[in-house]
Structure 1
Amino acid sequence: MDELNTWRRSGELSDLTIQIDDSEFNLHKFPMFIKSDYLKKKISECNDNKAVLKLSNFPGGKEIFEIVSEFCYGERSSLSQENVVQTRCAAHLLEMETTGNLASFCDRVIDDLLRNAKNSRSTSVSIEMLAVCEQLGDISDKAGIVDRCVSALIDVLSISGRQQVTETLTGLSSNWFEKLLGAARKKNMRPHIIGEMLISYLQISFIYEKDETEEETDKKKHVELADEERQHLLDDVLLKVFRDENKVGEKHALQERLNPELAVKLLSEAERLKCDVKDDLRRLCAKLVPRLKAPDLAQLPPEVVVEMVQVGETDSANKEAACKTADIYLKALADNKRLDAETFAAVLNAAPNDARTNHDNLFEVLHTLLQSG
């Protein structure tokens, strides 16, 4: 083996050239043929004595292929958190997944890293590995790395405090977060913990307003999502949770624990993005009226409030709440001198008059409207 490795380093007697990006590896067919089923097929298809193969988009580039070639020649490279994800993906691509092959070697290292992180109640290892997986794309999922990192995250988050949960979630894209929720359900994580995770992620994704003057540490407390990701999070994640809770009448339902500011912000975004979840959020905001602050409600355009009030009016139990929604909204607009006669009439006509306990707010709103001309 020592002599073979000497030939690998020198390229002497090479009968196989592997091209990775702008680099060439002058190797030998036999050791690569034995370890990699993928290269075995490619080499067999080549009729030339000197085979030349180009591997495009190789995980981790030439540095990782160097580790792969060392392994094939019987030399054990040092695997670490910095290179094991890329190497495991390379093993999947090159079909080096038989027992005792490179994939097994990588899996042991990954399992040790995740186990040690779990024992110390740390989520950083999983988050950092998932960040690498995101760069590498689907191959990391196919290699089984994503599921193991997500599972390790669930194990730690199930025994973590709220601050650690929030700090962990800021490191996840919307796709990884969706996988996290799915894994949490499969592992039968308690529903209220899943709900807290979703609320935390929605909070850092929708409420946070970016400020260029803030400290760098504060900028890490939010997740910046494109509109497509926001729509996906609202319709494919939040709506599913709402519907699942409604089916089973789940205790500690997410709807009951969303704070009013977040609920209104979600509704505003759902309206802007034309999301399917908007009707559910309108009903929720109508129920939250006693806890809604006027500035929160005033964020919404009149047509949304009209529809929200009408949604509440269809349910007799929510008629009074719908009426309060209309009054609070009109007063908030009047106080900010943003109320016109058309909006006043539209919102007033949408509200169920028979549920109004008094007309004090309306008289005050009307007085303000008339004074403003």
Structure 2
Amino acid sequence: MACMKLGSKSEVFLLDGHTWRCSTGLQSDVIIEIGGTSFHLHKFPLLSRSEALANIIGDHPIENEKKCVLQLHDVPGGAKTFLLIAKFCYGVKMELTPLNVVSLRCAAEYLGMSEDYGEENLIAQTENFLNEVFAGWTDSLQALETCEKVLPRAEELHIVSRCINSLAMKTSADPSLFSWPMQGGSDMRNPNGTEFWNEIRTSAKSHPVGEDWWYEDVSLLRLPLYKRLILAVRSNDMKPETVAGALMYYAKRHLPLLGRQSSIENGNFAAPRSKISGSSEADQRNLLEELVELLPDQKGVTPSNFLLRLLRTAMKIHASPSCRWSLEKRVGAELDQASLQDLLIPNTGYSVETLYDIDCVQRILDYFMLVDHDDPTSNYIVDEEQMMEGSHFAKTNNKSGKSDR
């Protein structure tokens, strides 16, 4: 993990309940309240580094020589980040890491900690360190995850887009150039025992790397950021098969019903752990619909058995008609690759006349007949009108065949 050390003075901040006090020997003359935490500080170190604090303290009326009390509940990162801000202002030793640099950069902007208020102020320091973070895979991923806590300011400062662009560029590169990917970024050793220092390989041993090396790491992201990353990866001309593989991995991890189907089929009844597995059906429905929208359109890219598992899951959680329709069309284009077992789709409708959804299978078959005459290398997503025409044609032929008997 990248790290930048700032400050040279020893620790002077002491926590007393929910109050941070500065043990410099001087009586504090300003109290800053953030949430349920208060900071008893001194004006001068703050005024010399922060334009916002200089303006607020300067405009604050002083009554009977009482301490100046300020409320900064909107500071990005809250009390935890402001403690680091205070340490920076006092010159106390602290470290910038991928886990705190985003909130510190946002808080520094909020407080106006520019070069006008001291050389090597916090805005410049955090920007310099962010450039180091973007050079590494794990550091970029950790920084991106922390952006969620300080939105929308991280968006305004283009930190989110810079993290995503950094990661998207690295997905198509040789990971040995910037470190082996590590789930959660907490272990500095890869599965084969090679150690890293500041994300630099220390062993000359080579490791075979597949195109799926980044799937697990990015699957830790929540859907909004993951979606943006996938779109960035696609814009970098990543192979559709690789994009589809990443989406399949994410879906199996975060859709409990889908993961259960996959695990049972493989003889493993332990579904993959998900950060959002306890989410509501509405959240699961939104997740599935978004993933279906992201799937590549090209024929032969996404396996038919996975598409059918998605379709069964979509029916169980009552996904939108357009989502189910899209999946049926995709399955129809890949029907020649499906097995009979895959096509046993449980009937989840109000009718209990049949155990399996015959109408769904009929629509899939109709679409297969429609696209069977098209170029198999072309994209298979066509409009609904074409599908209805194909379905009508198939039913007409079925009726004609019966009358001829």
Query: 1:267 corresponds to which residue?
Result: 311
Q: Where does 1:28-39 land on structure 2 (aligned, <5 Å)? A: 28-39=42-53
Greater relative contact order: 1 or 2 (C-alpha under 8 angstroms, separation 6 or more)? 2
Q: Please name the residue that 1:326 is paired with.
A: none
TM-score, structure 2 normalization: 0.62
Q: Secondary structure at the match of 2:70?
A: strand
SS in 1 for 2:250: helix
Match of 1:295 among 338, 341, 344: 341
- Find the residue that maps to 1:256 and give its secondary structure: coil
Mapped contact 2:328–2:364 kept (Cα < 8 A): yes
Q: CA deviation at 1:154?
A: 1.4
Distance 1:232-1:306 versus aligned 2 partners, 3 A rule: same
Question: Is structure 2 residue 359 aligned with structure 1 residue 281?
Answer: no
Shift of the 308–282 alpha-carbon distance from structure 1 to 2, 3 Å rule, reads farther
- In 2: Cα distance, 1:175 partner to 1:60 partner: 20
1:306 equivalent in alignment to 2:359: yes
**Which runs of 5 or more structure 2 residues have no equivalent in the other structure?**
1-6, 13-20, 176-209, 350-356, 374-391
Residue 101 of structure 1 pairs with residue 121 of structure 2:
yes
Q: Residues 129, 352 of structure 1: CA spacing in aligned structure 2 closer, same or farther, 3 A cutoff? A: same
TM-score of the two chains, using structure 1 as the length reference: 0.67
8 A Cα contact 2:212 2:245, kept in partner: no
Q: Deviations over 1:62-92 (max 9, x none)?
A: 4432321232244563222343233223223
Q: Deviations over 1:179-224 (max 9, x none)?
A: 102322454545554344334323433431298xx899x8458973
SS in 2 for 1:56: coil
Runs of at least 5 residues in structure 1 that lack an aligned partner in the other structure: 118-122, 246-252, 321-348, 360-373
Tell whether the 8 Å contact from 1:16 to 1:52 is kept in structure 2 after alignment. yes
Once residues 302 and 76 of structure 1 are traced to their aligned partners in structure 2, the CA distance between those partners, rounded to angstroms, is 62
The CA distance in 2 between the partners of 1:89 and 1:265, in whole Å, is 42
What is the aligned counterpart of 2:370 among 317, 325, 333?
317
What SS is found at the alignment partner of 2:260? coil
Task: Check 1:82–1:350 CA distance in 2 against 1; reply closer, same or farther (3 A cut).
Answer: same
User: 1:102 is aligned with what amino acid?
Assistant: L
Matches within 5 A, 1:1-373: 9-10=23-24, 12-48=26-62, 50-56=67-73, 58-75=75-92, 77-97=94-114, 100-115=120-135, 117=136, 123-159=137-173, 161-206=210-255, 207-209=258-260, 219-220=272-273, 224=277, 226-239=280-293, 245=297, 253=298, 255-271=299-315, 272-275=317-320, 276-301=322-347, 305-310=358-363, 312-313=365-366, 317-318=370-371, 352=395, 354=397
Deviation for aligned residue 1:96:
2.7
Q: Which residue in 2 is equivalent to 1:371?
A: none
Per-residue deviation, 1:306? 0.8
CA gap of 1:151–1:263, structure 2 versus 1, over 3 A, is same
Instruction: Give % identity.
Output: 22
Offset, 1:309? 2.0
Separation in structure 2 between the aligned mates of residue 57 and residue 305 of structure 1, nearest angstrom: 56
Deviates more, 1:200-209 or 1:223-232: 223-232
1:67 aligned partner, one-letter code: L
CA change 1:305–1:162 in 2 (3 A) is farther
Cα RMSD over matched residues? 4.2
Q: Which has the higher helix share?
A: 1
Q: Which has the higher strand share?
A: 2
Q: Distance in 2 between matches of 1:256 and 1:81?
A: 39
Which secondary structure does the structure 2 equivalent of 1:90 belong to?
helix
Distance 1:317 1:235, change over 3 A: same
Contact 1:71 1:77 in 2 (8 A): yes
Tell me the alpha carbon deviations over residues 304-349 of structure 1, each in whole angstroms, 9 at most, x when there is no partner.
54145246537853589xxxxxxxxxxxxxxxxxxxxxxxxxxxx9
